[in-house]
Amino acid sequence: MRGAGDEEQDEGAANEAEQVPFRVSHGSQEKLQGKGESEERARLKNVGLDEEFREEEVMDELGPHGGAELAPDPEVEVSPLWQKMNYKEMELTKEKTLALRNKLIGQSCRLFYSDNPVKIIRARGQYLFDEKGTQYLDCISNVQHVGHCHSSITEAAAAQMDLLNTNTRFLHDNIVMYAERLAATLPEKLNIFYFVNSGSEANDLALRLALQHTQHEDVIVLDHAYHGHLKSLIDISPYKFRKLTGQKEWVHVAPLPDTYRGIYGADHPNPGKAYADAVKDVIEKAQSKGRKIAAFFAESLPSVGGQIILPEGYSAKVAEYVHSAGGVFVADEVQTGFGRVGTHFWAFQLQGKDFCPDIVTMGKPMGNGHPLACVVTTAEIASAFTANGVEYFNTFGGNPVSCAIGLAVLDVIEKENLRENAIKVGAMLKDLLTKLRSKHEIVGDVRGVGLFVGLELVTDRKLKTPATNTAAYVVKKLKENYIFVSTDGPWENVLKFKPPMCFSMDNAKNVTQCIDCILTDIQTMNLKLEKDDI
């Protein structure tokens, strides 16, 4: 199952699997169920939780939000707006909603947990609530970046909506103030902005900018990449086009720089250079056929590819090769931007000061759920685009409400020190997950930066055989324990964590503890998940 941060879910764990007889709670409302509390404590000890986990085992002590310091209290906060909407009267039963959805909504728009979908009706911080009021911890929603329904965002949206919303052909302060604030987070040369409504629109425009500027046609992309749902982007998304019409002659695929299971491992003396040289080979091969490179597109941290961290020196070297072929470097920050990596505002900045992309696309977290996305580029590339003499008009992109929301998101990131939170909580999550590696043979790799973390499951550490079914099973069991996590990677065997940035230390402990229990139970019960029983 793929996460909310992605374009689709490929449901692996569709069938009802055998119940694991435990439940670890993460809030006062979710008491340990199915067993007495003392029995549950004994069980946790029996399954060999280490000292650190044992100290944390009773999450009920942490209060209604699992101890989250940053989330507004969902139980006390009943918005006056909600009351005005008289929400209850609009509500359908879950069965009715599902029946209508099946009847009216295209079946290729898949639901999470399609065998037993969850109906979510409200949210706060890093928590989602179903129609019965059950609270779920959300490790999936990278879009609701500063937390679900953050009051600063909803207030900014409502206030601006009450005052004015127009298209961007009228002069207005919000768009320029917002562009100025974004510019302050970026290298100086990236200073011309185009506001759009989705990551796909942003990447499609980036493609147009690159083609216009270079007057070339060809694009290099990383294996397993996904850049959006428009036709132009399906063409440059191996993850999609391999299942559809196949690779176009103007598209070239470079190896995913994955130092865990890729062609060059972490033990290579310089994997960054080796993988960049592989891009050089792709360029030379294309040129030998008379093709000309317009752009190299890559996510700054390939996420659909399996939460990959690019090796040091990779991007600068690739940029050098791409520039000498006359192309531009497009960094897709749709999933990874806005401080998710903690130490930097943009994930491409992890590649060092020497590296600066020519075009950056951004989206998902930008509007905290409001459709807001953007392309930023250099004055030179922008002028080439202007020189074609055709107006670029986008009805909704950069409207006063969107930009008010964008500004509020930036304010909250700063005021609530969310980057610092991503550094601290992300480090702890990675650390706790890494401890699981010494306990569970199935944990092949743990990687990540800030609140972008992946846990790769393998049935054989040497062969790195993907443990796809086990990953699906863990996702399913986590749901039963009120935690939403999803999988990614070419084999859907990477549990990914891209939670709202207010994710807390206790949330990190809670989810790790649950995964530990699930993996322990799989071992204890000797479940053969990699055969056909899921």
Ligand X SMILES: Cc1ncc(COP(=O)(O)O)c(C=O)c1O
Positions in the binding site for ligand X (CB under 6 A): 6-7, 198-200, 203, 226-229, 299, 332, 334-335, 363
Q: Are 156 and 408 in contact (CB under 8 A)?
A: yes
Q: The dihedral of CA 191, 197, 200, 201: what is its sign?
A: negative
Structure tokens at 438: 């010494």
Structure tokens belonging to residue 434: 């890494």
In angstroms, give the least distance from the CB of 45 to ligand X: 41
Whether 253 and 263 have beta carbons less than 8 Å apart is answered as: no
Residue placing its CB nearer to ligand X in the complex, 332 or 506: 332
Report in angstroms how near the CB of residue 304 gets to ligand X at its nearest. Answer: 6
Smaller CB separation from ligand X, 198 or 512 = 198
Residue with tokens 């990477």: 494
Q: How far is the CB of 112 from ligand X (least distance, A)?
A: 14
**Which of 442, 444, 412, 198 is closest to 307 using CA atoms?**
444
- Asked if 279 and 198 count as a contact pair (C-beta separation under 8 A), the reply is no
Task: Name the burial class of residue 314, with classes exposed (0-12), middle (13-18) and buried (19+) by CB atoms within 10 angstroms of its CB.
Answer: buried
Residue 174 beta carbon to ligand X: minimum distance, rounded to whole angstroms: 21
Whether the Cβ atoms of residue 466 and residue 457 lie closer than 8 Å to each other: yes
Which residues are CB-neighbours of 60 under 8 A, at least 6 positions away?
Answer: 25, 27, 28, 31, 32
- Residue 30 burial class via C-beta count within 10 angstroms: exposed 0-12, middle 13-18, buried 19 and up: buried
We find the least distance from the C-beta atom of residue 422 to ligand X, in angstroms, to be 18
Shortest distance in whole angstroms from residue 350 CB to ligand X: 16
Cβ of residue 235: shortest distance to ligand X, in angstroms?
14
Rounded Cα distance between 345 and 348, Å, is 9
Q: Which is nearer to ligand X, 7 or 480 (CB)?
A: 7
> Which residue lies nearer to ligand X by CB, 330 or 483?
330
The Cα–Cα gap between 447 and 450 comes to 10
Beta carbon nearer to ligand X, 47 or 495 = 495
Nearer to ligand X, 335 or 399 (CB): 335
**Residue nearest ligand X, CB atom distance:** 199
Least distance (Å) from ligand X to the CB of residue 396?
A: 13
- Interhelix angle 400-415/173-183, rounded to 10 degrees, is 40
Residue with smaller CB distance to ligand X, 193 or 482:
193
Q: Which is nearer to ligand X, 200 or 486 (CB)?
A: 200
